[in-house]
């Protein structure tokens, strides 16, 4: 073979090698496709509907009887509260039959719901008292903008004054909330709390337990309590991205032009205006009626919220949250990065180890007594182990103070439970 022929062959081989390298490099940058299987070698998937393609129910808020434990709202709803308004399983249809109580069956194959707080004993914009507001809930007031094979879009608009006082007010809908699913595991959640019907809470305290600050959680109440004694590892994974967190005004520390947000005295016990993206699991004790939350504060406009926090919520439930990049996460194999607006972050950790860490380090399960208000009292978590718990529900979403327009997306959600 002459030199020219050899050069052509070598040149061709080099070109092929270069192309192969480019192709390989491209694949390395691609994400692995989601694993939709519900079980594997030694593990089971605990989440249902990880594609977010079956809609959003109402049993968590309005269900009154269930195929399982009624007190814990387990199983499929059989009946709902008669609230004097239609309740919807979006985008499926009405939750009840014509009697307004008996389940229509629309929620039988729906696993996700919404936790949006509570609005009780409020005054509306016209000055009329409202014992319990329902219109702020997506399962009562929302529109299905699209429901195709590739997209589900549910939106909520505040047109309360026209809806309730049509002779006094013309229609003037203002965007409040949206849920958008690609039906392949990506869910985008947007919330504009400035446009909400009611938003008067100004502190994270028990005073607002029944008139809460802005909440919009996507919520899965497992159909039955999950006995933690079956497992020795719970591998949690999710990919999160905050695309917007826009502050509309500074209330409760600043001024607002909303009807229910007056200027507050300088000495009022008020919380800072902030937006936080949180995701938590709730566990119950098999030995008592107690329970606690554990999970993540993925993102917050207040940086200190993304550190390790152990406290009590407005209902007296203990909660533990940690940011995705905190060093204490090494105790439960936490992998993640600090989230910033526009930055996509994948978070992984062993939920079993996290719960064990909280029991030992925070709930002090090795101590018979604990100090509360300077006094020694019996520790309700004494001698309680992970095996003595059940996993009850999961929720992820916005919990804000004040007036914000926020959007996040989540994908690749998974909770693999490895059996002993």
Residue-wise pLDDT for 202-254, tens only, equals 999 989 999 999 999 999 999 999 999 999 999 999 999 999 999 999 999 99
pLDDT at 24 over 60: no
pLDDT tens, 302-337? 999 999 999 988 888 899 999 999 999 999 999 999
pLDDT tens, 84-101? 999 999 999 999 999 999
Domain-embedded: residue 166 = yes
Asked if residues 282 and 291 have their Cβ atoms less than 8 Å apart, the reply is yes
Domain-embedded: residue 13 = no
pLDDT at 9 over 90: no
Cα distances (angstroms) measured from residue 91 to each of 54, 143, 213: 8, 9, 27
User: CB under 8 Å to 134, separation ≥6 — which residues?
Assistant: 83, 85, 140, 141
Asked if residues 285 and 384 have their Cβ atoms less than 8 Å apart, the reply is yes
Query: Strands across the sheet with 274-285, in order?
Result: 113-115, 215-227, 389-401, 274-285, 291-300, 318-322, 309-312
First-to-last alpha carbon distance for the chain, in angstroms, is 66
SS3 198: coil
Q: Kindly report the CATH number assigned to the domain that includes residue 309.
A: 2.60.120.180
Domain-embedded: residue 5 = no
Provide the pLDDT for residue 39. Answer: 93
Domain-embedded: residue 264 = yes
User: CB under 8 Å to 236, separation ≥6 — which residues?
Assistant: 347, 348, 349, 350, 351, 414, 415
Provide the pLDDT for residue 43. Answer: 97
How far is Cα 45 from Cα 38, in angstroms, rounded to an integer?
A: 5
**Which H, E and C letters describe 109-166, residue by residue?**
CCCEEEECCCEEEEECCCCCEEEECCCCCCCCCCEEEEECCCCEEEEEEECHHHHHCC
Domain-embedded: residue 15 = no
Task: For residue 182, give both structure tokens.
Answer: 């690609």
pLDDT at 6 over 50: no
Provide the pLDDT for residue 31. Answer: 65
Domain-embedded: residue 235 = yes
Provide the pLDDT for residue 5. Answer: 46
Residue 30: which pLDDT band, with cuts at 50, 70 and 90?
Answer: low
Query: What is the tally of structural domains in the chain?
Result: 1
How far is Cα 273 from Cα 275, in angstroms, rounded to an integer?
A: 7
Domain carrying residue 124: 36-419
Domain-embedded: residue 12 = no
Pairing of strands 291-300, 318-322: parallel
Domain-embedded: residue 169 = yes
């Amino acid at each position: 073979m002459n030199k020219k022929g050899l050069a052509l062959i070598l040149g061709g081989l080099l070109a092929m090698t270069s192309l192969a390298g480019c192709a390989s490099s491209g694949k390395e940058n691609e994400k692995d496709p989601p694993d939709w299987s519900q079980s594997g070698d030694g593990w089971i998937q605990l989440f249902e509907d990880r594609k977010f393609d079956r809609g959003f129910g109402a049993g968590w808020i309005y269900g009154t009887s269930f195929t399982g434990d009624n007190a814990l709202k387990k199983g499929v709803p059989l009946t709902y509260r008669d609230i004097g308004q239609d309740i919807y399983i979006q985008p499926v249809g009405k939750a009840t039959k014509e009697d307004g109580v008996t389940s229509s069956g629309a929620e039988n194959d729906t696993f996700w719901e919404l936790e949006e707080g509570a609005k009780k004993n409020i005054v509306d914009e016209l000055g009329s008292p409202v014992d319990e507001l329902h219109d702020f809930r997506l399962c009562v007031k929302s529109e299905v903008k699209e429901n195709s094979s590739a997209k589900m879009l549910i939106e909520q608009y505040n047109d309360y004054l026209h809806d309730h006082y049509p002779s006094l007010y013309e229609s003037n809908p203002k965007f409040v909330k949206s849920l958008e699913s690609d039906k392949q595991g990506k869910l985008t959640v947007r919330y504009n709390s400035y446009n909400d019907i009611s938003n008067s809470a100004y502190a994270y305290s028990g005073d607002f337990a029944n008139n809460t600050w802005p909440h919009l959680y996507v919520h899965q109440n497992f159909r039955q309590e999950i006995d933690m004694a079956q497992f020795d590892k719970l591998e949690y994974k999710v990919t999160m991205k905050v695309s917007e967190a826009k502050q509309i005004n500074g209330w409760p520390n600043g001024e607002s032009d909303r009807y229910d947000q007056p200027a507050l005295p300088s000495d009022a016990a008020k919380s800072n205006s902030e937006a936080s993206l949180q995701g938590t699991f709730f566990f119950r004790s098999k030995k008592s009626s107690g329970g606690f939350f554990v999970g993540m504060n993925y993102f917050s406009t207040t940086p200190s919220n993304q550190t390790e926090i152990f406290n009590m919520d407005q209902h007296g439930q203990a909660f533990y949250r940690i940011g995705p990049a905190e060093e204490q996460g090494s105790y439960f194999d936490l992998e993640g990065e600090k989230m910033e607006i526009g930055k996509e972050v994948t978070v992984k950790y062993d939920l079993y180890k996290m719960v064990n860490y909280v029991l030992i380090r925070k709930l002090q399960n090795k101590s018979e007594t604990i100090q509360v208000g300077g006094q020694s009292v019996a520790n309700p978590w004494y001698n309680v182990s992970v095996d003595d718990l059940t996993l009850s529900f999961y929720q992820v979403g916005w919990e804000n103070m004040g007036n914000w327009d926020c959007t996040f997306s989540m994908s690749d959600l998974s909770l693999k439970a490895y059996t002993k």
